[in-house]
């Protein structure tokens, strides 16, 4: 079973990065890349077309994507695998015609079942099953009127202290 934490780093621009291997038809075509984790990208992986050629990705069509600026652009799609340390997951890869860097998106994190945590200089991809109960909170209980010690005036007009003892 894989360990609970995968470690990345913050790039010079302050964005989280990880080292991944990407391949298509067979792992003999795998190449290692530095990829930025883009939480605004809902897809699996975005890679420049020129970097994708040697990976032997399976091309299967196009799709219109809405970009952060609201524009719609058609993109080529391929199918491939990403390996992060000892884990591999496969998905749809967006092929970019421009020379941008690699972006892994939220679909990649979901397929790995990882939560993203960012520190001052380090990036952790934590196994969500390891932290599943950490996000649950319990509602604090308040003592019932019968079990709570009486403080202040009682029905008979007597006073008691915080220990429930009668005082004058």
* Residues 124, 28: Cα–Cα separation, whole Å: 28
pLDDT per residue of the chain (168 residues) written in tens, 0 to 9:
455 566 887 888 888 889 999 999 988 999 999 999 998 889 999 999 999 989 999 998 999 988 778 899 899 999 999 999 889 999 999 999 887 799 999 999 999 888 888 888 888 888 888 776 665 555 555 555 554 444 444 444 444 455 555 555
Q: How many residues does the chain have?
A: 168
Residue spans of the domains in the chain: they are 5-131
**Which superfamily, per CATH, for 5-131?**
Acid Proteases (2.40.70.10)
Cα-based torsion angle of the residue sequence 115, 116, 117, 119 in order, rounded to the nearest 10 degrees: 160
pTM: 0.72
- E strands, the chain, are 5-10, 16-23, 31-37, 45-48, 58-66, 72-84, 87-96, 102-104, 114-118, 122-127, 152-153, 159-160, 166-167
Phi and psi at 131, nearest 5°, equal -120, 15
């Amino acid at each position: 079973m894989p360990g609970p934490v995968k470690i990345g780093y913050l790039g010079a621009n302050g964005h989280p990065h990880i080292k991944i291997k990407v391949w298509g038809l067979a792992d003999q075509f795998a190449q290692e890349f530095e990829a930025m984790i883009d939480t605004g990208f809902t897809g699996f992986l975005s890679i420049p077309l020129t970097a994708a050629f040697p990976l032997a990705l399976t091309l299967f069509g196009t799709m219109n994507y809405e970009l952060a600026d609201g524009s719609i652009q058609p993109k080529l799609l391929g199918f491939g695998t990403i390996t992060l340390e000892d884990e591999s997951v496969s998905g749809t890869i967006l092929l970019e015609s421009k020379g941008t860097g690699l972006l892994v998106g939220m679909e990649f994190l979901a397929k790995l079942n990882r939560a993203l945590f960012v520190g001052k200089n380090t990036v952790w991809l934590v196994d969500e099953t390891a932290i599943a109960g950490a996000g649950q909170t319990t509602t604090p209980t308040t003592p019932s009127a019968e079990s709570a010690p009486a403080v202040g005036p009682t029905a008979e007009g007597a006073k008691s202290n915080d220990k429930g003892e009668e005082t004058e």
